[in-house]
């Protein structure tokens, strides 16, 4: 088995075994603590520009299934795991995880101490790195890592967004036989969804709750969106720093008060900027499927799925205009807010939960309620 190296910008070098593609990739090195759902992580556009460490000790054991893709291809730059399985044991699997990543040109490094690596990043913060199965010179890879652009200031949403509008019609019932969900409701509302790196399960959830969905590019003007006569506007998740997305923020600002708006993750951050707030970069981000979030409107605690490296500063928001609705119980960061006058709300976490628990599916029903005018 060939060897691979992960080199960080601070000079730390980890050696391991190579799986996936024989390649060299670079990016911000981050970690995700979810126990399952690695394929959904691979194919989440929000991971553009990032090398992902998965903390569950064994990855790849249930293979991959085309029904579980969150996008048309994997978006991670590289994968770091403790143990990578070359076998797939799952009746739904149609490809081994190693072959799945190999086809996409994504390298995997296995057999290293992921606990030590994650503790290092928690202490020092996420940092730039290079994962290579083609170059064994650690010091040279460290220098390459130091030359990578920082995630702060990067507009990656425009890079991953769809180039043309399209209709989405598939509900959760069409792709998740193991979930045992009922049939999608008859479509009552037309939703225009901005694609900043949208996950398919968000689109499935919108359809499941009775929406006809039109997905549009991230730079679609507010005027063009309104010309589609939507009942509501959805702002999607996506990668990178929200602050460079000035054109997207300007369009959202024009839509506030015109139509009900629901934002998730990057959509939450962009909505915060549109309302005059500020965002900041977290030390090591939130990526996992068991983050406790308190809904301050109900007092209920939800176990939620997360994938973000930036957050909205609650002190920068005008509280006479905005109600803070959700808070992260791990570190007290802002997880959701809504407008006091207009039908506009958002959350930082992922209520569609792919992977993750289903505690927050109710938010899609709340969006439908707003569109019905209740």
Residues known to be catalytic: 265, 350, 352
Contact 261, 319 (CB under 8 A): no
What span, in angstroms and rounded, lies between the C-alpha atoms of 338 and 351? 16
What span, in angstroms and rounded, lies between the C-alpha atoms of 267 and 256? 13
Q: In the structure encoding, which two tokens stand for residue 147, read together?
A: 């030359």
What span, in angstroms and rounded, lies between the C-alpha atoms of 228 and 64? 37
What does the CA dihedral 48, 196, 309, 246 come to, rounded to 10 degrees?
120
| 136 three-class SS | coil
DSSP calls for 67-84: GG-SSSS---SEEE-SEE
The closest alpha carbon to 165, from 213, 229, 206, belongs to: 213
Which contacts qualify for 148-151: CB closer than 8 Å, 24 or more apart?
Answer: 148/9, 148/26, 148/27, 148/28, 151/28, 151/49, 151/50, 151/240, 151/241, 151/281, 151/309
Q: Could you tell me the CA-to-CA distances from 34 to 38, 76, 163 in Å, in that order?
A: 8, 16, 31
What span, in angstroms and rounded, lies between the C-alpha atoms of 268 and 108? 32
What span, in angstroms and rounded, lies between the C-alpha atoms of 199 and 245? 19
Alpha carbons within 13 angstroms on the beta-carbon side of residue 63 total 13
What span, in angstroms and rounded, lies between the C-alpha atoms of 36 and 182? 23
What span, in angstroms and rounded, lies between the C-alpha atoms of 57 and 180? 28
């Amino acid at each position: 088995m060939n060897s691979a190296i992960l080199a960080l910008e601070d000079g730390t070098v980890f050696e391991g075994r190579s799986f996936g593609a024989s390649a060299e990739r670079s990016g911000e090195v981050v970690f995700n603590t979810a126990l399952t759902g690695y394929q959904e992580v691979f194919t989440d556009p929000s991971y553009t520009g990032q090398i992902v460490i998965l903390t569950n000790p064994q990855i790849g054991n249930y293979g991959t299934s085309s029904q579980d893709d969150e996008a048309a291809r994997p978006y991670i730059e590289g994968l770091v795991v403790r143990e990578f399985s070359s076998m797939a044991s799952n009746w739904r699997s149609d490809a081994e995880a190693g072959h799945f990543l190999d086809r996409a040109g994504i390298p995997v490094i296995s057999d290293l101490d992921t606990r030590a690596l994650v503790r290092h990043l928690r202490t020092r913060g996420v940092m730039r790195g290079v994962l290579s199965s083609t170059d064994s010179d650690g010091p040279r890879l460290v220098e390459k890592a130091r030359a990578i652009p920082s995630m702060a200031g990067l507009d990656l949403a425009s890079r991953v967004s769809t180039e043309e509008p399209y209709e989405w019609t598939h509900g959760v019932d069409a792709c998740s036989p193991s979930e045992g969900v009922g049939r999608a409701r008859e479509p009552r509302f037309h939703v225009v969804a901005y694609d900043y790196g949208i996950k398919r399960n968000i689109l499935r959830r919108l359809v499941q709750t009775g929406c006809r969905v039109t997905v549009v590019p991230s730079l679609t003007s507010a005027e063009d969106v309104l010309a589609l006569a939507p009942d509501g506007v959805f702002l999607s998740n996506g990668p990178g720093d929200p602050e460079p997305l000035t054109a997207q923020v300007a369009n959202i600002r024009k839509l506030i008060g015109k139509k009900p708006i629901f934002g998730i993750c990057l959509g939450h951050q962009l909505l915060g900027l549109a309302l005059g707030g500020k965002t900041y970069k977290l030390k090591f981000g939130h990526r996992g499927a068991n983050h406790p979030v308190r809904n301050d409107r109900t007092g209920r605690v939800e176990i939620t799925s997360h994938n973000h490296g930036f957050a909205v500063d609650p002190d920068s928001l005008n509280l006479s205009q905005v109600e803070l609705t959700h808070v992260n119980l791990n570190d007290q960061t802002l997880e959701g807010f809504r407008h006091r006058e207009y039908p506009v709300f958002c959350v930082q976490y992922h209520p569609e939960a792919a992977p993750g628990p289903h505690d927050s599916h109710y938010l899609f029903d709340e969006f439908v309620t707003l569109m019905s005018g209740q």
